Amino acid sequence: MTPTVLIVGSGPTGATYARRLLEQLPRVSVLMVEAGPVVSTPPGMNVKNITDPGEQAVARLASQGRAGESGVSGIPGGVVVEGTITARQGTHLVGRAADGSPGMPAAALATCVGGQGAHWTCATPRPMGSERIGFLDEAEWEQHVGAAEELLHVTTTAFGDSPQATAILDAVRAELAPDGITVRPLPVAADPREDGSLRWSGTDVVLAPVLEDPRFTLRSETLAVRLVRDGDRVTGAVLRDLRTGAEEQVRADAVVVAADAIRTPQLLWASGVRPAALGRYLTEHPLLFGVVALREGAVPPREDTVTPVDPIRAVVSVPFDEERHPFHAQLMFTPVCPVPLPDDSPYRDNPAGYVGMGWGVRKWPRPEDRLTFEDEHPDENGLPGVRIAYEVTEREEAEFHRAREVQARVAGALGAFVEGMPKVMPPGSSLHYMGTVRMGPVDDGTSVCDTESRVWGVPGLVLAGNGLIPTANSCNPTLTSVSLAIRGAAALAADLQPALVAGKE
Ligand SMILES: Cc1cc2nc3c(=O)[nH]c(=O)nc-3n(C[C@H](O)[C@H](O)[C@H](O)COP(=O)(O)OP(=O)(O)OC[C@H]3O[C@@H](n4cnc5c(N)ncnc54)[C@H](O)[C@@H]3O)c2cc1C
């Protein structure tokens, strides 16, 4: 019999499983279900590539879920800052604060084919030093990260020819290099176009090659409501067509849940899979964000015309360094201000342009930072309602203090902060939620998965996504999660191989 794999969620990590399984197993059938609709062509394409602003807005709106229906979640309002932080169109808020906790007011997800990968900024720095998952073999890890970079079309030379990029890089380097702090172009997942702009990678770059494969089926607007079990083993799932409400049970030899760091544990909870660490150790990247109006002459004048839908023209990274710079900083140059300015602001229409700069700091995993699920207060889909207990502690505050000093120096080297900047963004703003289904080397109650992403004690169930990441880190998580998916897919292919061989007999 041909083995069947059900993948829940069509973001970059679910897509990686589909791609790798289909590449590695000649006989396999893969069904991918996605709660949201197709919002771009090809499916999963980064909506930043849609040049018509109206069409882009429609695609973003269509990714914002069915939140309004119940008021459980909603579309983030306020400032739209493309490039570094939330609150973003294309996402919808999720989770209410647990009693007595500030929660994560800006926690937001995307519900569409491609997941958040249809909306992401594409920053793909590698995890460094202690950011790396220490219990995974380093040589193997390097291979997986390299493969992930290939899969996502990562480039380290984005905007390399742009004189503005060089000027910003040089200015930041001159400020920080004397302290031994590295400054370099930000690795991003994108393909350069001839006109110097970038085609940003979406989930499409991973998914496109399998879309026409007869062994692969993608069902959009289809919600996995519950995993089905036979004893401990997961044997399939109940799926709901969100257009008709019809439910059906599908059988699978393995189920990969790649439904983001919040809805993956939600689905496990709803299915009665409730290991002690489920939903706990929630982390993100507490974020210090600022916009600097560049001083005159800081960058050479541009010759190109601004593309209003994608104004980014240079990207710079100040990577993590345990001793000297235990943060990840991301700087993006744009000729148009990424935040609204007061009418009387001296920084309006700044001729030299602006740099948006985010310093992400580490959040140390604590079991009490956690999601809880309430069967009695379901969400808009009838799945258990999500509550979030989360606090920034003195440890993270101390990191902010240090980050603020570095950021102020960099800002001073380039120009001046616009009004109200810099500011610590509300928890959840990073959109990088981690730890809720964390990976661990042993089943000691502090992890949900083994090192191959298999849920401890639940055969047939594999997880994917940022929720697996167990470390305190500050680098953007997608490269790590896709690397883990590459690793997990190889293990799953090996697990399925005996079934495949048996099927051939
Ligand atoms: C605006 C923005 C900017 C970002 N910038 C960066 C960046 O620069 N660098 C970086 O590394 N990361 C960035 N991220 C985060 C990045 O997009 C995510 O890390 C990545 O998409 C995670 O991939 P995933 O496959 O695990 O989950 P997702 O992409 O979140 O996909 C999960 C999918 O599962 C679906 N789903 C959930 N529950 C169910 C269910 N029960 N049944 C069926 N389907 C379900 C969801 O609808 C969703 O489409 C950004 C995100 C956003 C929104």
Give the 3-state secondary structure of residue 324: coil
Burial environment of residue 26 by CB neighbours within 10 A (0 to 12, 13 to 18, 19 or more): exposed
Is the CB of 116 inside a 6 Å radius of any atom of ligand 1?
yes
CA of 86 to the centre of ligand 1 (A): 14
What is the structure's pLDDT at 399?
94
Contacts of 323 (CB under 8 A, 6+ apart): none
Q: Which atom of ligand 1 is nearest to the CA of 464?
A: 26
CA of 89 to the centre of ligand 1 (A): 14
Is the CB of 152 inside a 6 Å radius of any atom of ligand 1?
no
Measured CA distances, 362 to 101, 357, 477, 501 (Å): 20, 17, 12, 45
Residue closest via CA to ligand 1's atom 50 equals 120
Is the CB of 127 inside a 6 Å radius of any atom of ligand 1?
no
Is the CB of 384 inside a 6 Å radius of any atom of ligand 1?
no
Site to probe by mutation for ligand 1, drawn from 63, 116, 198 as the one with most ligand atoms within 8 Å of Cβ, is 116
Contacts of 193 (CB under 8 A, 6+ apart): 199
CA of 480 to the centre of ligand 1 (A): 13
CA of 127 to the centre of ligand 1 (A): 19
Residue closest via CA to ligand 1's atom 14 equals 120
Residue closest via CA to ligand 1's atom 41 equals 224
Average pLDDT per consecutive 10 residues, the chain (505 residues; last block may be shorter) = 95 98 96 97 96 93 71 38 52 93 94 97 95 97 98 91 89 97 95 86 97 97 98 98 98 98 98 98 97 94 65 88 96 91 94 95 98 95 97 96 97 96 94 98 98 98 98 97 98 86 47
Burial environment of residue 194 by CB neighbours within 10 A (0 to 12, 13 to 18, 19 or more): exposed
CA of 42 to the centre of ligand 1 (A): 17
* Single-letter residue type at 5: V
Is the CB of 91 inside a 6 Å radius of any atom of ligand 1?
yes
Is the CB of 92 inside a 6 Å radius of any atom of ligand 1?
no
Q: What is the total residue count of the chain?
A: 505
Q: Which of 133, 149, 13 is nearest to 465 (CA)?
A: 13
Is the CB of 87 inside a 6 Å radius of any atom of ligand 1?
no
Specify the residue for token string 């602003």.
53
DSSP per-residue codes, 412-447: HHHEEEPTT-SEEPPTTTT---B-TT-B-SS-SSS-
Is the CB of 111 inside a 6 Å radius of any atom of ligand 1?
yes
What is the structure's pLDDT at 79?
36
| The model's pTM | 0.95
pLDDT in tens, 185-225: 999 999 988 877 889 999 999 999 999 999 999 999 999 99
Give the 3-state secondary structure of residue 330: strand
Q: What distance in Å separates the CA atoms of residue 38 and residue 51, rounded to the nearest whole number?
A: 17
CA of 386 to the centre of ligand 1 (A): 17
Site to probe by mutation for ligand 1, drawn from 260, 379, 380 as the one with most ligand atoms within 8 Å of Cβ, is 260
Residue closest via CA to ligand 1's atom 49 equals 115
Site to probe by mutation for ligand 1, drawn from 32, 120, 222 as the one with most ligand atoms within 8 Å of Cβ, is 120
- Phi, psi of 68, deg, nearest 5: -60, -20
Residues annotated catalytic, as ranges: 432
Is the CB of 476 inside a 6 Å radius of any atom of ligand 1?
yes
The token pair that represents 210 in the structure block: 């399998």
CA of 64 to the centre of ligand 1 (A): 12
Contacts of 392 (CB under 8 A, 6+ apart): 286, 363, 427
DSSP per-residue codes, 246-285: -EEEEE-SEEEE-SHHHHHHHHHHHTT---TTTT-S-B--
What is the structure's pLDDT at 82?
37
Measured at the alpha carbon of residue 396, what is the angle toward residues 393 and 400, in degrees to the nearest 5? 135
* Single-letter residue type at 149: E
Is the CB of 260 inside a 6 Å radius of any atom of ligand 1?
yes
CA of 256 to the centre of ligand 1 (A): 15
Residue closest via CA to ligand 1's atom 38 equals 259
Q: Which strands make up the sheet holding 222-230, listed edge to edge?
A: 222-230, 233-241, 247-251
Q: What distance in Å separates the CA atoms of residue 75 and residue 128, rounded to the nearest whole number?
A: 34
